[in-house]
Amino acid sequence: MKNCIVCLVFSLLGFSLFADPARAATFDLGEVAAGDLVTQARSIEGTGIIFEDTWTFSLADLLSASISVVKFEIGDFSSVDIQSVTSPDFSFSEIAPGMFLFEGVGLSAGEYSFSVTGVTTGRVGGSYTVGVAVIPEPPTAALLALGLVGLAVQCHRFNPNRSDARSRASG
């Protein structure tokens, strides 16, 4: 019994010493604010390495910056097969083979994260790039006001009563 326990301890110790650290990693993209584009490349060394990377970032105060769209892109693959992108906060869609995209509208300030799972297919490993962009959009009230001004100008220019009064005055 004592020999079994010693063998188990050495087995676990040996496994932890030779475990590949590239299989799971966490990356912090930092704080992202209006107009920012944050990109980071991820390289994984080794053939056939199955990995699950967690990416975290925080959004700055969105109310003062009037931000409504956050865009994520995962691409620029080199000998990496991305199998899934998951998040507790939102869902991703695959817009092309291996190209994932999410656009979040009206996200609040705070911490967000997502996981990328895949496998390296190259002889020495592979890499991929993650990009997070915060796209500022004009506030809804400003767009509404601009639209109303445009309508008022068009109504004023094509007012049939106004053109009749001019023709009567000149004739």
Is residue 4 assigned to a domain?
no
Is residue 169 assigned to a domain?
no
21 band by pLDDT with thresholds 50, 70 and 90: very low
pLDDT at 63: 46
Is residue 142 assigned to a domain?
yes
8 band by pLDDT with thresholds 50, 70 and 90: very low
Is residue 13 assigned to a domain?
no
Instruction: Give mean pLDDT, residues 125-147.
Output: 72
Q: Tell me which residue range forms the domain holding 42.
A: 19-157
Of 59, 3, 67, the C-alpha closest to 30 is 59
Look at strands 93-96 and 99-105 and give their pairing: antiparallel
For the question of whether the overall pTM of this predicted structure is more than 0.75, the answer is: no
Instruction: Domain count for the chain, please give it.
Output: 1
Is residue 55 assigned to a domain?
yes
CATH number, residue 107: 2.60.120.380
Q: Rounded mean pLDDT of the chain?
A: 74
Is residue 166 assigned to a domain?
no
Q: Answer yes or no: are the C-beta atoms of 137 and 68 closer than 8 Å.
A: yes
Is residue 168 assigned to a domain?
no
Of 126, 30, 148, the C-alpha closest to 78 is 126
Q: Answer yes or no: are the C-beta atoms of 130 and 116 closer than 8 Å.
A: yes
Given phi > 0 = left and psi -120 to 50 = alpha, else beta, which region is 2?
alpha
Instruction: Give mean pLDDT, residues 131-153.
Output: 66
Of 43, 11, 3, 35, the C-alpha closest to 136 is 35
Establish how many alpha carbons lie within 13 A of residue 105's alpha carbon, considering only the half-sphere containing its beta carbon.
3
